[in-house]
Amino acid sequence: MPKLLVTAFDDEFCDEVVKVLGSKGIHIHGGNRVVSIDGNSQVDSVSLENGSKIQADMVLVSIGAKPASDLARQPGLRIVENGSIWVDEYMRTNAEDVFAVGDCAVKRDFFTRKAAPVWLASTATAEARNAGTNIYGIRVLHQIQGTISAFSTQIGGVAFASTGMTCRACQKEGFRYVTATAVAPDRHPGMLPGASELKVKLVFADRSGIILGGQVSGGFSAGELINMIALAIQKKVTVRELDMLQIATHPLLTSAPTVHPVINAAHQALAKLRAVGRELPPVKKAA
Ligand SMILES: Cc1cc2nc3c(=O)[nH]c(=O)nc-3n(C[C@H](O)[C@H](O)[C@H](O)COP(=O)(O)OP(=O)(O)OC[C@H]3O[C@@H](n4cnc5c(N)ncnc54)[C@H](O)[C@@H]3O)c2cc1C
């Protein structure tokens, strides 16, 4: 891969990860395949495609995974992309009374319905709740309409989180989009002890203004901020609804209401949409 975390983040966030790691003395050799792990009785170096060698005492290999689905294949469960077990929207396999959830069950992307190898405990448990609720008969309809790849992590004391489509994914899949980024301290005023900067990037569909994705980095509140964005994606919230969002703020707990980065990013995206004369649907009236 050319950069770290390219499936979850756009370039500026990937580059931030590299910068944080660099500040801890960790060097990233992106876009450069390992061609051999060298040594006699033990490893002494790793050779890269560009001809360079890295001295090594130990090598940790972490290059992905795939389901070990033989156990499911033998009794005739349908196996699809990447060895995943096929399931319907209620986590039912093709065999009567057999359900599959979690890493072994196929995931479909929320926007494209393509297979999406997003293997997370948060996804697995949502699927488990879906299967458990429907196990004695379908009681809850269409609750899991595909994965929105909600993901968070913490690298060198900085939180990184993402959900939905990145700009890179929009370009790859041919989605037209508008995006905006806002930065604000997560306390107010920002010089309060313990304040960190929060960066929020939002991606919207350029005609409907429906939110497609979000990326957040900075303080640890990014971990819950992304969950708010994840809910907005699942509920197909528009840029205008986010611009008018009602929120709670407190100096010791959140960004200032005047500069809240989710609202500000939406506000900027709305301004961009207005500038190019896109018509957005009016804000939905409360039921
Ligand atoms: C290092 C690491 C960090 C992670 N961090 C996060 C995170 O921060 N957030 C997040 O959401 N997700 C995270 N994940 C992903 C998360 O752990 C998985 O998505 C989740 O555990 C999947 O749940 P599961 O029940 O499908 O599979 P598993 O948790 O793998 O459970 C499968 C179980 O089946 C058992 N089993 C396998 N074969 C057999 C057999 N033949 N007979 C009986 N038992 C069998 C296994 O022993 C295992 O206990 C992380 C994963 C790793 C590896």
Homologous superfamily in CATH for domain 151-275 = FAD/NAD-linked reductase, C-terminal dimerisation domain (3.30.390.30)
Residue with tokens 């809240």: 260
Report the alpha-carbon distance of residue 201 to residue 264 in Å, rounded: 10
Could you tell me if 173 and 112 are in contact, meaning their C-beta atoms sit under 8 angstroms apart? yes
Residue 283: predicted pLDDT: 61
* Average pLDDT, integer, range 133-150: 91
Report the alpha-carbon distance of residue 258 to residue 156 in Å, rounded: 29
Residue 282: predicted pLDDT: 65
- Reading the block at residue 165, the tokens are 């489509």
Q: Report the separation in Å between the CA atom of 148 and the middle of ligand 1, taken as the mean of its atom positions.
A: 19
Report the alpha-carbon distance of residue 228 to residue 180 in Å, rounded: 17
Report the alpha-carbon distance of residue 127 to residue 166 in Å, rounded: 24
User: Coil, strand, or helix at residue 208?
Assistant: coil
* Average pLDDT, integer, range 122-138: 95
Q: What backbone torsions phi and psi does residue 153 show, to the nearest 5 degrees?
A: -155, 175
What pTM was computed for the model?
0.92
> What are the sequence ranges of the domains in the chain?
11-55, 70-134, 151-275
Report the alpha-carbon distance of residue 109 to residue 212 in Å, rounded: 12
103, 106, 122, 130, best to mutate for ligand 1 pocket (most atoms within 8 Å of CB)? 103
Residue identifier of the C-alpha nearest atom 19 of ligand 1: 120
Pocket of ligand 1 (CB under 6 A): 71, 102-103, 119-122, 124
Report the alpha-carbon distance of residue 42 to residue 57 in Å, rounded: 8
- In which region does residue 218 sit, left (phi positive, over 0), alpha (psi from -120 to 50) or beta (all else)? left
Residue 64: predicted pLDDT: 82
- What is the CATH code of the structural domain delimited by 70-134? 3.50.50.60
